Amino acid sequence: MGQKGSGLLCRHEERPPALRAVGEVVMSFVLVKVSYLGLVRNVIGCREEEIELNPGATVGELLAKLAERHGDAFRWSVFKGGGELRSMALVCVNDCDIFQLQGFGTKLESGEKISVVVGVYPPEGG
């Protein structure tokens, strides 16, 4: 991982080209930029990263990949037990809430910007 500005920039893998030759076959993929804000940034220690996905990948598949990559810290801060987003979690594609699109089924294309935001609210009480 490297430092950039005041936050961490994750470097899990080098940025690959949009097309990659594997043997005789040229494979394509989707490359998206994911930014983390709020609690999730603190618990995974990452500000942003680029993620490679298969063509036709959805937001749900991206979130599953992020949960696999960042483990329980990500999973517990973003999801409830049943796989639903926590009430204080928000996932946006190009600044649009996924639930104003097709939810977890929203298809992703190369170059899109994904934001994962988990708000931190003070405890209620008096």
In a domain, 55, yes or no: yes
**Dihedral sign, CA of 50, 53, 55, 61?**
negative
In a domain, 61, yes or no: yes
Which tens digits make up the pLDDT trace of 100-119? 999 999 999 999 999 999 99
Collapsing DSSP to helix, strand or coil, 111 comes out as coil
Q: How many CB atoms lie within 10 A of CB 74?
A: 21
Please state, rounded to an integer, the average pLDDT across all residues of the chain: 84
What confidence tier does 122 reach under pLDDT thresholds 50, 70, 90? low
In a domain, 49, yes or no: yes
What global pTM score does this model have?
A: 0.78
Number of domains making up the chain = 1
In a domain, 124, yes or no: no
What's the mean pLDDT in 43-70? 96
Domain that holds residue 60: 2-118
Calpha distance 79→55 (Å, rounded): 25
In a domain, 58, yes or no: yes
CATH code for position 24? 3.10.20.30
Listing DSSP states for 29-82 in one string gives -EEEEEEEEEHHHHHHT-SEEEEEE-TT-BHHHHHHHHHHHHTHHHHHHHB-TT
In a domain, 123, yes or no: no
In this prediction, residue 82 carries a pLDDT of 86
In this prediction, residue 5 carries a pLDDT of 40
In a domain, 51, yes or no: yes
In a domain, 126, yes or no: no
